[in-house]
Amino acid sequence: MQFNHFLTSYMPDPRIGSKQHFQNMINQSLLAEKLGYASVSIPEHHLVNLLMMPSPLQMSVKIASLTSKINIVTSVCVLPLHNMLTFAGEVAVADILTEGRLILGVGRGAFAWEMARLGTPKEQSKEKFKESLEVLQLLLSQENVSWQGKFYQFKPITIMPRPISNPVPIMIAAMDLSSIRDAASRGFHVQSTVLSGTKELLLKRANAFREGCRELGEKGKTLKLSMQRMAYAAKNEQDAKEKNKLAYEYYKRFDNMFTGPGKVDRGLIEPIPRNQSVEQLTENLLICTPSQLVDKLGAYQEAGIDEIIISASFGQSHNDLIESMYRIHDQVMPYFIKTGSRVA
């Protein structure tokens, strides 16, 4: 099982300043390559201080310029917010400047508040995402492309420059089982998560992915299933307890955007009450000591997950985050190898 470091881009205190905030993310990327992570992932969100990254492709190019081998994943570019006629060219340039290390993660969007303010209500996002993805694939892979659809109508065009990857690898963010299976059956890598953290949900998602791969045939053997989870390798039990409390505060804001009313004041997401207790959240997350993290990740290996995407920032200090990365490298990663097997 491979490890992917997710650049969560959470800035609860704006006094840190945007320059230092993004430098911290760059430093995490450099360390991830040094420690043997397979990938780093970059979100796309706008107008808020959580998952704050309006331009993941720009960040991808910046990270690529400072690294040599680590893969760079957009996690995810929100296709309904972009015009595919220009976005395809931006992807091609990013593919060239990352020297083929870009994995284009795409999705339909998760925050209704954000989507509405950027001109694409979430109710329309599923339909627009489907058409946008089809158009994007054609523009990246073919020349003289024309299209007549609901959201796009254009005469034959060829995007320039052409990407160097053929094809540009695409990963789809999917939650429900039918979407996971459909994405795999169409030849896409898949990123998902299990917000409740139960083994049953994990197995269902993994099984749906494998079903889609089998439908695809031989090519399905090359596809990757990535699972994103909030994780932190704590110094000790007390540190884990303190960090789970911080994560609880993070999710008060995440819930506000994901399922809540979208209360935002000058870009800062306001916390809202949660139905779940700190203790219940602790059971669901992977914020624990390194030995406990090894045991919990064993379930992901057994389910056949190819890559764990570690969402590592939830309000702790940057130094604490860096120390956790080192502990994951020293005390967790040695128990796993690329094939997903654990070393006894």
- Would you call 171 exposed, middle or buried from its count of C-beta atoms within 10 A (0-12, 13-18, 19+)? buried
The CATH number linked to 62 is: 3.20.20.30
Q: Report the C-alpha gap between 344 and 272 in whole angstroms.
A: 44
Q: Residue 296 falls within a domain, yes or no?
A: yes
Q: Residue 174 falls within a domain, yes or no?
A: yes
pLDDT digits (tens, 9 = 90+) for 8-39: 999 999 999 999 999 999 999 999 999 999 99
DSSP three-state, residue 295: helix
Whether 1 contacts 301, CB under 8 Å: yes
Domain count, the chain: 1
pLDDT digits (tens, 9 = 90+) for 138-176: 999 999 999 999 999 999 999 999 999 999 999 999 999
Q: Residue 287 falls within a domain, yes or no?
A: yes
Q: Residue 341 falls within a domain, yes or no?
A: no
Q: Residue 344 falls within a domain, yes or no?
A: no
Q: Specify the pLDDT at position 196.
A: 73
Q: Specify the pLDDT at position 343.
A: 37
Confidence bin at 341 (pLDDT 50/70/90):
very low
Confidence bin at 195 (pLDDT 50/70/90):
confident
Q: Residue 135 falls within a domain, yes or no?
A: yes
Q: Residue 344 pLDDT > 60, yes or no?
A: no
Q: Which of 104, 105, 106, 29 is nearest to 70 (CA)?
A: 29
Give the domain range for residue 100. 2-335
Q: Residue 342 falls within a domain, yes or no?
A: no
Q: Specify the pLDDT at position 207.
A: 97
Q: Specify the pLDDT at position 338.
A: 53
pLDDT digits (tens, 9 = 90+) for 222-278: 999 999 999 999 999 999 999 999 999 999 999 999 999 999 999 999 999 999 999
Q: Residue 124 falls within a domain, yes or no?
A: yes
Tokens standing for 290?
């390194």
**How many residues make up the chain in this entry?**
344
Whether 147 contacts 79, CB under 8 Å: no
pTM to 2 decimals?
0.95
